[in-house]
Homo-oligomer: A and B are copies of this chain.
């Protein structure tokens, strides 16, 4: 290394190690570690193997040994998730080093056990989602194929896990869990969104479901559908006001085709069909059928392009 480079590198190290030069992106304030994205990935992999034994994790399970594998996995889940829940709670805790934080720590095992207790219900709901996906897809050849390789089921599974943790008021982890699914599938469902049974997302890339969305039974969304917010009111300091209901309500048995954008606290009435590539910022009554304006045919000479 030449002197000039040595100088550049030493200066950069000093600069990046100087807490006074951080404006806002500072290190986590106290010595408690943040949740680990890598650990969370292992935890979700474990839950997937618990919910769908034989499909993920061990692939030679047999009925008479299932309980051992299930027991081992759930015991591991209890240990590993407790630790991440503790970190998530500590992250929000104002005084992580004193007795207060000890209280936080005591919460994590019981929250984790409460979550684990819900797993059989989650499996039950997911069975409905899988059945609905199978019923609605002529290309699907078996429910096993769907569990195995459909990104919609992948994303909904992560959402239902994350939503349960949200209900238990565990901070930070739910968002990490849904973002994992987002990265793997292109489907971005906020953990706060409330979604009923029999939910189908087909293909799914580009789907966005905002935090205050409410989705009824047996709804089907195609790729690229957004359930988003319009612009939102600001408070006196010019910051967005938090907690306002700002995303759509989609009632039972609605289908929304690819790439359509629905914004604001509007209601899509039950049984409606919304065509693709539509921009929709108003409510529509039950059994509506909404389509984009018919496209226009233009003259053109190749070479001009579009």
Contact = CB atoms under 8 A, between A and B. Distances in A.
B306 A224 contact: no
Contact of A305 (B78, B116, B145, B231): B231
Contacts of A249: none
Contact of A292 (B1, B113, B295): B295
Contacts of A120: 12, 15-16, 21
A149 to B, nearest CB: 4
Nearest to A78: B9
Assembly stoichiometry (copies): 6
A23 B283 CA distance: 37
Contacts of A21: 120
A110 to B, nearest CB: 6
Given A117-B11, A277-B279, A306-B263, A151 B179 contact: yes
B75 A69 contact: yes
Contacts of A17: 66-67, 70-71
Given A17-B66, A19-B66, A232 B183 contact: no
Nearest to A34: B59
Interface in A28-44: 28, 31, 33-34, 36-37
Given A37-B148, A71-B13, A71-B65, A242 B1 contact: no
A70 B6 contact: no
Minimum-distance CB pairs A-B, first 3 = A231-B305, A68-B71, A5-B113
Given A1-B62, A68-B75, 20 more contacts: A4-B110, A8-B114, A9-B65, A10-B64, A16-B70, A17-B70, A25-B143, A33-B60, A68-B72, A71-B71, A138-B244, A141-B171, A182-B203, A186-B205, A226-B258, A257-B279, A276-B279, A289-B300, A291-B298, A292-B293
